Structures are given as C-alpha cells and as structure tokens.
C-alpha cells in the first residue's frame, strides 16, 4: 500500500491488488464491478481483520475479565474512536454502533420521535429519499398523528430550495434528508438545509449512506443533529455501521431496545439505564464486523478521500460523456453536484433486461427502483440501470460497460 499513500493521484492497479474479488471471472469474463452504491468490495486488510478476530481473540465484549474478552473489547472500542475521527464528532459517547444506516434512522425515529412528536407536528423529507429514510418516519408519524411533508425536486433531481423554505414553520419538528442520493448521485445542499431548519427550531438528520464514502464529513462543521452511515458502503463488512448524535439529544432520548449492556441496574421492579453510548447498544453486538470496520476506514483515510474523489470524478465524467453517445439513452440526475453514480434509461429496453445482458458479459450494475420507488414515480419511469464507481474502478471498465450496452442495443432493438 505504500505506493498509493500520500499521493495526489491514485495508483489504481496497486489499489486493485488489495481487493481479492477483483481477480475473479463471471461467466467467462473478468469481473467488472459497477454496483458500488449497493455495497463496495472489501480490501484484504478487512478480510484479514475478520479472520484474525475469529482465529485469535473471539470473545464477548464489555463483560469478561479474561484476556480474550479484554482484547476484543479494546479492538471494538478502537473502532469507535476511528469512527469518531472519520465523522469529526466531539466524543466517542456520540457514536452509537448499529447494523447500518437503516437501523440508525429507525433508532432516531422511534426513540426521539416517540418521545417528542405529537399530533399536528411536521416532519420534512426530500423526494430523493431511500425507503429507509422514508418508511420509519411515515410509521412514527402515523403513530403520533404527525404529518410527513415532501420537498419536491426538479426533473434533474435537484432539491427545490424555495419549496423547502415555504414548508418550514413552527410546526416543523424534524427534517431528515439524504446527503447524496443512492439512485441518482445528486448531492443535497445539506449545510443550508440544516441552517434553515435550525432557524425554526427543527432538528436535522442526514442519511450518509452514500456521502460517507465519497465526501469529507465533519458533523460538527455541518452542525447536523444526527448522521447515520453503513460500513459496507465504505469498504467495510456488512452489518456494521454507526449513528452520530449530539450528546445532549442522545442523553435525553429513551433507549431503543432493552436487554444486556444498556443497563446500569435491574431489579424485579425497575431498571436504570447505562451511560452513552451503551444505552443504545443492547445485547451482544456484531463484534467481528465492527472490529473490521476500523481497517476499512483507515484504508480510505490512508489514501485520502480527496485523491479517491478525484479519481471517481474522472470515471464519472468519462462514463457520462460516453453514455450520452449511445442512441436512445437518457441519464437521470444529470447535474454537476453529484457523487460517482450514473443512472440511466434506454428507450425501448427494460432496465432488468439491461442488467441481465450485462451480467452475461461479467458486468455488474444495479437495475430497478433502487429502494427509491417514490422517486421513480416522480420521474415517471419504472426504474433505471445504475453504474456506480469506486476507487478500484478503471477507465477500461467504463469502456467495457459501453461495449456491453452496445451489444444490448443490437440484441434488443
């Protein structure tokens, strides 16, 4: 890895050597993996960390006093400090380990929402939301008699700022928006959104599932109240992620789940709850994957998000220009401010057929509504084909995608 560290440009071939899966073939073709917005592939350091834990110090954490338990606990808490640094949080007490973005959003919706929302209150979401940042708020709004309001977008997928300003009022209690859209790649103006929401006394949560891997995150500079992300989007294991919350808010919120670890004392009659962050971490957690999240974040940080982002921007620009040359192809979310996601439709060809025929050539893309069905309805399409790029993708792989799509056109038109 030394040859890719502290560089202004990315040595992609050296990076690719760190990802064992990129050596495999699919249906007789070299794998071209362009489904990174769904999940990223894992570098060897992450895989090694999982093997190391299970091979050498597998034990439950925070409870045992034996050597294995102490080693596992130390490694687990080291990840919490790494996440704190990765997000720019003030304290590890503000970092709650979760299974990922979805659980983080649900935690806030059910814990903060149940304790604070009442009939007539309003929750504002954007039209770009993933189901995981829409359904929990719909559920809690129905339970509490609150109302969910949706900020419209332009046909290109950009946040309608004027409409948002008109929605804000003293009834607005919570705003939850995606930082960067998984379906279109569009980046929301979250700093302005947070400032405007705070001006009317509302709290703000950011869905950072996509932004965490592509953008520099500083929750204190953003001044968001909550931020959730998934480790598997940032080259880490599945089932491990984190929720950031401002300490005062987390301290005032009731526990999300009851059980071991989240308690201080339990009697037959009553229970007192643990301090942060453990109040929100009931039961035996996903120890191995959380431990392996640290080397994933370290891997990204060692290369530098600015270096990775520059490489991904080159891929996105090249792919966008080449895709536009294909007859009958339309890019959805064709805006300047976006992460390395290109989502498109092709006249007369269903996205699922595109996905199947590309897979037959070893090319992995995502097709469908991308867990953003309301957004697809807003755009008046059944779904899209989505190519999403990571640090290990190459211009040659973009060329493979273009050749593959040309074959699709010849076959189906």
Cis ω for the linkage preceding 277 (within 30 of 0)? yes
pLDDT at 4 over 90: no
**pLDDT tens across 138-178, in order?**
999 999 999 999 999 999 999 999 999 999 999 999 999 99
Q: How confident is the model at residue 2 (pLDDT cuts 50, 70, 90)?
A: very low
Please tell me the predicted confidence (pLDDT) of residue 3.
Answer: 42
* pTM for the model: 0.96
Q: Where in the sequence numbering do the catalytic residues fall?
A: 371
Please tell me the predicted confidence (pLDDT) of residue 231.
Answer: 98
Residue 106 CA to residue 136 CA, distance in Å, equals: 6
Residue 366 CA to residue 388 CA, distance in Å, equals: 8
- Nearest of 248, 237, 204 to residue 94 by alpha carbon: 248
Please tell me the predicted confidence (pLDDT) of residue 7.
Answer: 54
Please answer whether residues 76 and 291 qualify as being in contact, where contact means their C-beta atoms are separated by less than 8 angstroms: yes
**pLDDT tens across 224-239, in order?**
999 999 999 999 999 9
Please answer whether residues 251 and 273 qualify as being in contact, where contact means their C-beta atoms are separated by less than 8 angstroms: no
Please answer whether residues 170 and 200 qualify as being in contact, where contact means their C-beta atoms are separated by less than 8 angstroms: yes
For 366-389, what is the mean pLDDT?
96
User: 277 exposed, middle or buried (CB, 10 Å; 0-12, 13-18, 19+)?
Assistant: buried
Q: Which domains are delineated in the chain?
A: 2-30+305-412 (3.90.1150.10), 48-301 (3.40.640.10)
Residue 203 CA to residue 245 CA, distance in Å, equals: 11
Q: How many CA atoms does the CB half-sphere of 362 hold within 13 Å?
A: 16
Q: How confident is the model at residue 204 (pLDDT cuts 50, 70, 90)?
A: very high
How much of the chain exceeds pLDDT 70, in percent? 98
**216: how many CB neighbours lie within 10 A of its CB?**
11
For 188-198, what is the mean pLDDT?
98
Please tell me the predicted confidence (pLDDT) of residue 63.
Answer: 86
For 354-377, what is the mean pLDDT?
96
């Amino acid at each position: 890895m030394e040859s890719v560290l502290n560089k202004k440009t990315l040595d992609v071939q050296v990076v690719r050597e760190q990802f064992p899966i990129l050596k495999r073939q699919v249906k007789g073709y070299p794998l071209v993996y362009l489904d990174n917005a769904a999940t990223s592939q894992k570098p060897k350091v992450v895989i090694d960390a999982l093997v190391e834990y299970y091979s050498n110090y597998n034990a439950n954490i925070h409870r045992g006093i034996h050597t294995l338990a102490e080693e596992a606990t130390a490694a687990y808490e080291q990840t919490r400090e790494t996440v704190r640094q990765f997000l720019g949080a003030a304290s590890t007490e503000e970092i709650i380990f979760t299974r990922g973005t979805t659980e983080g959003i649900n935690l806030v919706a059910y814990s903060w929402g149940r304790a604070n929302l009442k009939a007539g209150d309003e929750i504002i979401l954007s039209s770009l939301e993933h189901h995981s940042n829409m359904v929990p708020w719909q559920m809690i709004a129905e339970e509490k008699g609150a109302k969910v309001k949706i900020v419209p977008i332009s046909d290109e997928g950009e946040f309608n700022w004027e409409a948002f300003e008109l929605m804000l009022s003293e009834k607005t209690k919570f705003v939850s928006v995606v930082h960067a859209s998984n379906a279109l790649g569009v980046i929301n103006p979250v700093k302005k959104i947070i400032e405007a929401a705070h001006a009317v006394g509302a709290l703000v949560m950011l869905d950072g599932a996509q932004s965490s891997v592509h953008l520099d995150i500083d929750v204190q500079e953003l001044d968001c109240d909550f931020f959730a992300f998934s480790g598997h989007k940032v080259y880490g294991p599945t089932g491990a992620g984190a929720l950031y919350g401002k300490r005062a808010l987390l301290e005032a919120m009731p526990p999300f789940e009851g059980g071991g670890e989240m308690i201080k004392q339990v009697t037959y009659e009553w229970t007192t709850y643990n301090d942060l962050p453990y109040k929100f971490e009931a039961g035996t957690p996903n120890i191995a994957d959380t431990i392996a999240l640290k080397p994933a974040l370290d891997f990204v940080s060692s290369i530098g998000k600015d270096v990775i982002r520059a490489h991904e921007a080159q891929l996105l620009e090249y792919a966008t220009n080449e895709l536009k040359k294909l007859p009958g192809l339309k890019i959805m979310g064709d805006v300047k401010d976006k992460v390395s996601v290109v989502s498109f439709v092709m006249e007369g060809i269903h996205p699922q057929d595109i996905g199947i025929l590309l897979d037959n050539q070893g090319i992995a893309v995502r097709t469908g509504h991308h867990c953003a069905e309301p957004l697809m309805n807003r755009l008046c399409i059944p779904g899209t084909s989505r190519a999403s790029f990571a640090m290990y993708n190459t211009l040659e792989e973009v060329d493979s995608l273009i050749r593959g799509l040309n074959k699709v056109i010849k076959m189906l038109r």
